[in-house]
Amino acid sequence: MLRRSTAVLAGSVTALALLATACGGGTDQGASPAAKKTGEVTFWSFLKGSDKVAAAFNASHPDIKVTFETVPSGQEYYSKLTNAVKAGTVPDVAVVEYPHLPEFAAQGKVEDLSGLLGAEVKAGFPEAARQLVNLGGKTWAVPRDAAPLMMMYRKDFFDQHKIDVPTTWDAYRNMTEQVKKADPAARGGVMYTDNPGVLEALSWQAGGKWFSTEQDSWKVTIDDDPSKKVAAYWGDLARKGLVHSLSQLDPFWTSVQKGETVAYVCASWCAGALQATVPDQKGKWAVAPVPTWDGAPASGMFGGSSFAIPKGSDNSGAAAEFIKWITTDPEGMKAWVSSGTSSMFPADPSLVPVTKAAFKTDYFGGQDIYGVMSQSYDAIRPGWTWGPVMGATNTAIVDQLPKVADGSVTLPDVLSTAEKATITQMEQRGLKVTAP
């Protein structure tokens, strides 16, 4: 599906090695491919369907027993995993979302999988997916899913009020004005006050590049021109009340249930979340490509996850077999989507037919939503990379997001504040940062 090449970070080997050294971690040479592939494996995940995946694997692999343990999502989980590494009580397999992987790899919290799974990653995944797990010339995880951007919208509302589906951001602004005029309680978009993911994905889509490396140092440009353009646009929509400013959790879903959110930017996985959370709105929703600045296809990712072997696992061979099955085997992919409500988009394009066949399209009026996802995946802009302290970066953004709608801070200023906080955190960890 994804044929566009993605730029490889210049100097990433040196930068990653520098980061690992500064944090007291290290990089391995990769566990031996000859490691034993039997025994017990402990599996940590917060992803829906993980229990079914573990059970399906156990049923078909009698020589390996996977014990699944559910864990909290968000920063609480990453703190738990970090503490487990320090205490020597790690699971054998753990989910790591893409933004967090550089930090975990560079601090030596996950094993180098180059020897065990590097060949599978190289052979089975497009460059844009490989770039998210190959850092410093080594493979640190295996991609599970991609999360290309899409726009969700209430087709019945748009049809009733003769509102066109926007293809550009100028048209999107017009749409939000039309929605508010048609129903003063309704909005055509959401700016989340507790999750920076959409802002990051839209900065990526616009051509922003928050992090890069040069020789032995990092360059941080969170408030680069494309990102400031995105921030100014969404900050203005929020201040003018053209989009909701809501938490991603209950307030958002309540607004959807009440018909007060009739369009929003999300990603491939959001289709399944919508169907599962608001089942009574079956047949009312549709999906569309995310609008772009010039009308030409462009996208980024909001979400996506990989699987890694934490540092200290005592059964890396069996763990690697489990990871390979749940990320590259059609039967493993069937297990992920066995509930019938998941709309995950596999990072391995050859597995898309598996997930597409499992997803019932009647909620979206029979629309081929996987066709829209595939187009968005193909249009992901090259050149984006996540930084080495994304926990600190995200915290700095989220701390200020609630203040944007009331005008006490501007969204471009939020990015500038986050850039300063990120640089400070990186320097405290002994990383070299050059001025943009």
* Residue closest to 192 by CA, chosen among 261, 277, 284, 97: 261
Question: How far from each other are the two terminal CA atoms of the chain, in whole angstroms?
Answer: 34
Identify the three-state secondary structure at position 247.
coil
pLDDT computed for residue 340 by the predictor: 78
Closest alpha carbon to 218 in 22, 8, 397, 14:
14
Range 127-151 burial, b when 16+ CB lie within 10 A, else e? bbbbbbbbbbebbbbbbbbbbbbbb
Per-residue pLDDT tens digits for 246-260 = 998 889 999 999 999
Q: Cα-atom radius of gyration of the chain, to the nearest Å?
A: 21
Instruction: Give pLDDT, residue 184.
Output: 98
| Domains in the chain with CATH codes | 12-146+303-347 (3.40.190.10), 149-298+383-434 (3.40.190.10)
How far is residue 178's CA from residue 183's CA, in Å, rounded to a whole number? Answer: 9
CA gap 393, 196 in Å, rounded: 9
Per-residue model confidence (pLDDT) at position 267: 97
Interhelix angle 75-87/390-398, nearest 10 degrees: 150
Low-confidence ranges of the chain (pLDDT < 70): 1-35
Q: State whether the Cα torsion 253-257-263-267 is positive or negative.
A: positive
SS3 at position 285: strand
Give the residue ranges of DSSP H helices in 125-193: 127-133, 155-160, 169-182
φ, ψ dihedrals at 38, nearest 5° = -135, 170
